Amino acid sequence: MGGLAIYQDSLHINTLNPASYAKLQSTAFTIGFTNTSTNIASQNSSSKATRNSFDYFALAFPAGKFGMAFGIMPYSFVGYNIQNKAQENEFTVSRQYLGDGGINRAFFESDMK
């Protein structure tokens, strides 16, 4: 539903709905990591690829009539390491392509009770 996030309570941070910060009764934080493991196999060989990534960190707290939150979230991430070998005429050609990087988003948001 296009990132619809209307859920709110007094214990959890909903970073998609800043209006939920007004209902916080105590300080809350959230942190996320992802681990992905993939097995790739063909008739001749097999390989395993593992990827670990930081997903987000957020801290929210009540401040009188306000609720406030700040944190950091990745906006985009690129990481690749591709290698291949090919026989071209009498030569074996080896190619390797490497790349990594990304953009992070820091935020500070507040809402009034």
DSSP string, the chain: --S------SS---TT-GGGGGG--S-EEEEEEEEEEEEEE-SS-EEEEEEEEEEEEEEEEEETTEEEEEEEEEEEEEEEEEEEEEEETTEEEEEEEEEEEEEEEEEEEEEE-
Domain annotation covers residue 80: no
Domain hosting residue 48, numbered range: 18-73+105-112
Of the two residues 20 and 62, the one the predictor is more confident about is 62
Q: What is the pTM of this model?
A: 0.58
59-70 pLDDT, tens per residue?
A: 988 888 888 888
At 1, is the pLDDT very low, low, confident or very high (cuts 50, 70, 90)?
very low
Domain annotation covers residue 24: yes
Domain annotation covers residue 82: no
Backbone torsions φ then ψ of 46, nearest 5 degrees: -140, 160
Domain annotation covers residue 62: yes
Domain annotation covers residue 60: yes
Domain annotation covers residue 90: no
